[in-house]
Amino acid sequence: MKKWLKVLLIILASLVLLLAVLSLCIGPIAKPILEKHSKELCHRVVTMDKLRVNLFTGSVGIYGLRALEEDDSTPFMSFNSLKVNIDILPLLAKKVQLRYIKLDEPVINVTQDGMVFNFSDIIEFYRPEHPDTTPSKWLVDLRHIALTKGNICYADLQMNSSLCMKDINVEIPRLCFGRGNSDAALRLLFENGGELDVKMAYGMDQTDFVIYMNLKDFNVDPLEPYLRQWMNFKDLKGKLSANLSVEGKMKHILDLDAKGNLTLQDFDLDVDNFDHVVTMDRLSVDVERLNLEKKIYYVEKIEFDALKLNFEINKYGSSFSTLFPSDSVPQQEASAKAKKQKAKKRDKKAKAIEAEIVESENLTSNKPADIKLQHLALNDCEVNFTDRTLKEGVMTLPVTDITVDAHNLSSTTRSKASLYAHFGKTGEFHCKWDGYLANKGSQVIDLEIKDLQMQELSPYCLHYFAYPISKGVLVYKGKTTIQNKMLDSKNHFDMYNLVVEKKNKNIDPEYKLPLQAAAYVLTDMSGRAKIDLPVQGDISNPKFSFKKIIIKAFFNTILRVAASPVDMIIQACRANADAFKDLALDLDQETFTSRQYDQFNAICEVMKDKPELAVVVTPSFNMANYYQSGDESNNQQTMQKYERLQSMVHAHFGQYGITPNRIEFTKNVGKKYAAKGKVLMSFDIRTPGMDDVEGMEAAEEAFEEENAANQE
């Protein structure tokens, strides 16, 4: 063998031996050096059990690593082992190519305080003072990245929220920086229940990405602190599942398209002083396309199963008013203070991102939202309504079997929807809607109520009018049309066998209306009472109130009844229109004429149909025969003849079963003209509940004053 060849072999053997020695020694030598200077190198105190380096294979192994927080005492992260293998030769071509990265059993504790994380100091430590914006010529190609049996605990200090994820497994076949495509897969389990599978593909050249996420049975408890920022509740339960895909570009992170399905099951919401305000077996949402930046909201289907709302009102508010509290001055001040504290903790990068988001929102703020909902369904839902603010009793009205069916709901086209429900014991509710979601000035609403037991509304009648209802069935039909922001509403009430009891004198009602008298007068021979209440107004006028205009129409109806009760009763009983006209009788006549018998018989028919009705008779005499300052003997003689006629009237009415106490002859003498030797009888009626008639006009004036004050 030639001498130079022997020398070359010796040199190569020496180098191999040297590298072998270095491979065996570099780990044990570097380990204490790295641990000693770890604070200077990575701003953390780091210890490890073993460090292994193989220069021949390009592999590095770190075992039993533990890193502390910035305070040098609290655990930050640890792992069982980290193995990395790198190709040596590609480094000469400015290419970092890792064959594999394996991280086993990492445990990471992440805390957030506003915009500051417990690793923010590490990022700042490595941030260069003068970043080099020159594009790098190095290509980083990482392959076969694997994380197994990981555990991450996240805590938000300001929100007082924590979320622990365990058994995290991550697989990234390839991750490129510079050019090429990357993809990754993540699977983890949540400590409180649920699992998450995520797959992602990323194109470095076009900076586009696709994310597929499958979330199963995630317990919503960790979301409570974040929801409390705009909702006030005591407890929240439920399981969330999602199967979504998201596509977008990193350069325009908000301009992304999402689609998929969201499901919320076994939902239960409690608020202060009210339990089970909202419960639900299942909510399913099928998203066709969702883009926040472009304001595109396309939903294929929203379906509620067994949604239950407990709407209760008491002197402190309602179950939903406490859920969404108003912004009081102290709340606003506290919110402003919290915002200032957060602003101090934001770094420059966070501010730049926020400014970019605000700018993007400003560009699209004037763009109208594009909303489309192909199908909305509510199945077997119910609302339990309870009002504890009434002056006497508690109003309860269960609304069950609620079914809503709506198709092709859109912000740009005309839409239709229908609603059906049972309420009370036997009542049925039907509603059909035809209109535009984005245009309140063009709507058509058809409402129908069937077989509502009126006594179920008795607590409200007591509160507002001091009259209880003991019996009755209501049928309502209404059609409300809004065209060019002008309201035209036709409302027809049909009540059968309505019984309004005597007024409760112990209650000071909101409105003094003769409800008993009105019900009595409006009821016809067949026991039906019908009321038509037309309502009109300009909905674009902020002074407009549908409730007030309904009450105004009701006032007008009752006033019309009180102003002409005789005409209303004759009309309701379909009696002779001349039955209660003034009737002239001769003071000396011994019997009635056919004309007089006919009028008396007509009055008897009305009184038989209205058992509680009483007739009041007011006499008028010729002033020459009867006058307070005239001849006393003439006055006495006139009254004796009149009393004889009274007996004749009582006797005739008695043949029809009309008792004398239902025919009242007043002692007051009327001022009407009567011929000499005759008496002119004027007939009026007295119905139950007429004691409030005199105060009705005053009540209406007070109502008008209240309206004017509210408008001002």
Q: What is the pLDDT of residue 363?
A: 47
Q: Is the pLDDT of residue 76 over 70?
A: yes
Closest CA to 415 of 439, 434, 440, 443: 434
- What does the domain layout of the chain look like in residue ranges? 36-121+138-217, 231-325+367-433, 573-690
Q: What is the mean pLDDT of residues 462-468?
A: 88
Q: What is the pLDDT of residue 399?
A: 92
Q: What is the mean pLDDT of residues 341-366?
A: 52
Of 79-88, 150-159, 249-258, give the lowest mean pLDDT range: 249-258
For residue 95, how many C-alpha atoms fall within 13 Å in the half-sphere facing its CB? 10
Query: Which of the four pLDDT bands, split at 50, 70 and 90, describes residue 107?
Result: very high
Q: Is the pLDDT of residue 628 over 70?
A: no
Q: What is the pLDDT of residue 351?
A: 56
CA dihedral 163, 167, 168, 173 (to 10 degrees): -170
Task: Count Cβ atoms below 10 Å from residue 583 Cβ, excluding itself.
Answer: 19
Mean of the per-residue pLDDT values for the chain? 79
Q: What is the pLDDT of residue 177?
A: 67
Q: Residue 396: CB partners within 8 Å, gap ≥ 6?
A: 384, 385, 386, 387
Q: Is the pLDDT of residue 353 over 70?
A: no
Q: Is the pLDDT of residue 354 over 70?
A: no
E-strand ranges in 178-207 read 181-190, 195-203
Q: Is the pLDDT of residue 39 over 60?
A: yes
- Taking the C-alpha atoms of residue 650 and residue 658, their distance in angstroms, rounded to an integer, is 8
Q: What is the pLDDT of residue 335?
A: 47
Closest CA to 608 of 632, 573, 577: 573
Q: Give the predicted TM-score (pTM) of the model.
A: 0.65
pLDDT in tens, 286-328: 999 888 888 888 999 999 999 999 998 888 778 888 777 654 4
Residue whose structure tokens are 């379909």: 574
3-class state of residue 178 by DSSP: coil
Q: What is the mean pLDDT of residues 232-246?
A: 90
Of 61-70, 336-345, 391-400, 703-712, give the lowest mean pLDDT range: 336-345
Q: Is the pLDDT of residue 697 over 80?
A: no
Q: What is the mean pLDDT of residues 622-626?
A: 59
Q: Is the pLDDT of residue 253 over 80?
A: no
Query: Which of the four pLDDT bands, split at 50, 70 and 90, describes residue 698?
Result: low
pLDDT in tens, 563-589: 666 776 776 666 677 788 889 999 889
Closest CA to 198 of 245, 253, 264: 245
Cβ atoms of 423 and 396 within 8 Å: the answer is no
Q: Which has more pLDDT, 673 or 552?
A: 673
Closest CA to 415 of 398, 397, 432: 432
Of 283-287, 476-480, 675-679, give the lowest mean pLDDT range: 675-679
Q: What is the pLDDT of residue 510?
A: 80
Is 573-690 CATH 2.40.340.10?
no
Q: What are φ and ψ of residue 281, in 5° steps?
A: -70, -45
Q: What is the pLDDT of residue 700?
A: 57
119-157: buried (b, 16+ CB within 10 Å) or exposed (e) per residue?
A: bbebeeeeeeeeeeeeeeeebebbbebbbbebbbebbbe
Q: What is the pLDDT of residue 625?
A: 53
Q: What is the pLDDT of residue 305?
A: 93
Query: Which of the four pLDDT bands, split at 50, 70 and 90, describes residue 536?
Result: confident
DSSP string, 631-687: -HHHHHHHHHHHHHHHHHHHHHHHTTT--GGGEEE-SSPP-S---TTEEEEEEEEE-
Q: What is the mean pLDDT of residues 621-625?
A: 65
Q: Is the pLDDT of residue 708 over 80?
A: no
Q: Which has more pLDDT, 692 or 664?
A: 664
Q: What is the pLDDT of residue 453?
A: 92
Strand 139-156, strand 161-177: pairing: antiparallel
In Å, what is the CA distance from 315 to each residue of 278, 281, 356, 510, 579?
Answer: 21, 31, 47, 17, 52
Cβ atoms of 606 and 629 within 8 Å: the answer is no
- Taking the C-alpha atoms of residue 162 and residue 153, their distance in angstroms, rounded to an integer, is 7
Residue 594: burial class (beta carbons within 10 Å; 0-12, 13-18, 19+): exposed
Q: What is the mean pLDDT of residues 20-31?
A: 67
Q: Residue 308: CB partners within 8 Å, gap ≥ 6?
A: 276, 278, 279, 280, 381, 382, 383, 384
Q: What is the mean pLDDT of residues 53-68?
A: 85
Cβ atoms of 87 and 99 within 8 Å: the answer is yes
Q: What is the mean pLDDT of residues 605-618?
A: 85
Query: Which of the four pLDDT bands, split at 50, 70 and 90, describes residue 154?
Result: confident
Q: Highest mean pLDDT: which of 214-228, 441-455, 633-647?
A: 441-455
Closest CA to 517 of 694, 698, 395, 700: 694
Residue whose structure tokens are 């008792």: 659
Task: Count Cβ atoms below 10 Å from residue 506 Cβ, excluding itself.
Answer: 8
Q: Residue 309: CB partners within 8 Å, gap ≥ 6?
A: 277, 278, 382, 383, 384
Q: What is the pLDDT of residue 51?
A: 87
Q: What proportion of the chain, given as a percentage, has pLDDT over 90?
A: 21
Q: Is the pLDDT of residue 119 over 90?
A: no
